């Protein structure tokens, strides 16, 4: 074990005034979405702060154009922040909370969860073109790798549809209870939801065969698929719980890999390296680490502080950014040689 956190020799730390809600890489620039409504843009040698929201930011994602950030707030606004700091409106939903966002560069779609509605922006659109309504508030959104199919979790199950088709048919997946975050596998072969009671529920698509994964002490809030969708890493336990998605039946009747645990802390965020089989972990005690899937070897990246709320690799996998409840942000640079 090293005494000094790796981030000190191989990266940088940034102190923000508010808790970190989300982190978004736009090329080499890191956008830090903060609980107070501001977005901090950190590039090579430059730093800028803008305030797209009057109140808390609840979610953020990269814009489908690949060169700006989208934020959703509890002020009812969806806004686009360009790298020069220019802010423009994408939608205003009269005091409703915008609580989830997802986008796809491939299909150009942008989706926002606003109460019980999923708002859809087709490529290049500055306002939503259509809406899909659900019977209860949306728990989570997930697009497949091509951005063609959208999974929406809600009470009593989840729905899969084609977001760009306004009259899209819906595949309904039923299971009682409240379904929170969800994730669709890159090939759209599986949909997994996180349950309010803790644990995961899943469906193999298109057959709707159901699977259930339990044993989590806390709610799963973070999912990450490995390169090519072989593994699904999940938060909500002392260790990262990593389910195999190989073969015809995926994780059914298989044991997950468990690794990277820390005593007295829960894994809160997981993020697979975009090309390698390394998994970055954020913990509830504020520590950040990197584990190798092959053998479980772990490298500590940063020391404990407050609970980690966001963890993102840059698209090229050269940089790992993380942020915590107290506004501490770190960027690990994998290209630095010690």
**Least CB distance to another protein at residue 24 (A):** 17
**Least CB distance to another protein at residue 155 (A):** 5
Which residues are at the interface with another protein (CB under 8 A)?
Answer: 19, 21, 35-36, 54-58, 74, 95-97, 99, 115-116, 136-137, 155-156, 176-178, 195-197, 218-219
Residue 9 phi/psi, 5-degree rounding, is -90, -20
For residues 112 and 72, the answer to whether their CB atoms sit within 8 Å is yes
User: 55 vs 318, which CB is nearer to another protein?
Assistant: 55
CA–CA dist 288, 333 (Å, integer): 14
**Least CB distance to another protein at residue 228 (A):** 33
Query: 4: Cβ–Cβ under 8 A, 6 or more apart, which residues?
Result: none
Among 274, 209, 266, smallest CA distance to 238 is for 266
User: 116 vs 130, which CB is nearer to another protein?
Assistant: 116
Rama region for 233: left / alpha / beta (φ>0; ψ in -120 to 50; rest) = beta
DSSP letters spanning 288-307:
EEEEETTT--EEEEE---S-
3-state DSSP assignment of residue 7: helix
User: 196 vs 275, which CB is nearer to another protein?
Assistant: 196
Query: Positive or negative CA dihedral for 168, 173, 178, 183?
Result: negative
Q: In this structure, what DSSP letter does residue 186 have? A: T
**Least CB distance to another protein at residue 129 (A):** 25
Cα-Cα end-to-end distance for the chain:
16
User: 96 vs 123, which CB is nearer to another protein?
Assistant: 96
Strand boundaries in 44-169, DSSP class E: 46-50, 57-62, 68-73, 77-82, 87-92, 98-103, 110-114, 117-121, 130-133, 140-143, 150-161
User: 10 vs 116, which CB is nearer to another protein?
Assistant: 116
User: 49 vs 156, which CB is nearer to another protein?
Assistant: 156
**Paired tokens of 234:** 């999940």
User: 9 vs 136, which CB is nearer to another protein?
Assistant: 136
User: 155 vs 162, which CB is nearer to another protein?
Assistant: 155
**Least CB distance to another protein at residue 275 (A):** 33
**Least CB distance to another protein at residue 100 (A):** 10
Strand pairing class (87-92; 98-103): unpaired
User: 56 vs 82, which CB is nearer to another protein?
Assistant: 56
Angle at 236 between CA 190 and CA 265, to 5 degrees: 155
Max CA pair span of the chain: 58
Q: In this structure, what DSSP letter does residue 8 have? A: H
**Least CB distance to another protein at residue 235 (A):** 13
**Least CB distance to another protein at residue 169 (A):** 26
**Least CB distance to another protein at residue 153 (A):** 12
């Amino acid at each position: 074990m090293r005494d000094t956190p790796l981030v000190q020799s191989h990266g940088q730390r940034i102190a923000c005034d508010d808790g970190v809600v989300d982190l978004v890489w736009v090329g080499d620039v890191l956008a830090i979405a903060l609980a107070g409504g501001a977005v901090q843009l950190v590039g090579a040698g430059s730093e800028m702060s803008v305030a797209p929201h009057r109140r808390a930011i609840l979610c953020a994602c990269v814009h489908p154009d690949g060169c700006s950030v989208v934020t959703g707030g509890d002020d009812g606004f969806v806004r686009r922040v360009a790298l020069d700091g220019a802010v423009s409106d994408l939608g205003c939903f009269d005091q409703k909370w915008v609580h989830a966002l997802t986008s796809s560069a491939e299909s150009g779609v942008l989706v926002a969860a606003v109460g019980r509605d999923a708002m859809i922006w087709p490529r290049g659109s500055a306002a939503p073109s259509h809406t899909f309504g659900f019977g209860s508030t949306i728990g989570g959104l997930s697009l497949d790798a091509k951005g063609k199919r959208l999974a929406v979790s809600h009470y009593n199950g989840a729905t899969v549809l084609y977001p760009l088709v306004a009259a899209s048919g819906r595949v309904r997946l039923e299971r009682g209870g409240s379904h929170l975050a969800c994730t669709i596998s890159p090939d759209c072969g599986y949909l997994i939801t996180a349950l309010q009671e803790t644990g995961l529920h899943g469906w193999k698509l298109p057959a709707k065969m159901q699977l259930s994964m339990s044993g989590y002490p806390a709610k799963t809030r973070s999912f990450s698929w490995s390169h090519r969708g072989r593994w699904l890493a999940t938060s909500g336990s002392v260790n990262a719980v990593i389910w195999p998605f190989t073969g015809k039946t995926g994780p059914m009747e298989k044991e997950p890999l468990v690794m990277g645990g820390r005593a007295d802390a829960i894994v809160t965020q997981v993020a697979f390296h975009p090309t390698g089989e390394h998994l970055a972990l954020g913990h509830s005690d504020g520590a950040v680490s990197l584990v190798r899937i092959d053998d479980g070897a772990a490298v500590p990246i940063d020391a404990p502080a407050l609970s980690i709320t966001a963890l993102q690799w840059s698209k090229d996998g050269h940089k790992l950014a993380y942020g915590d409840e107290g506004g501490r942000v770190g960027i690990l640079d994998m290209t630095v040689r010690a």
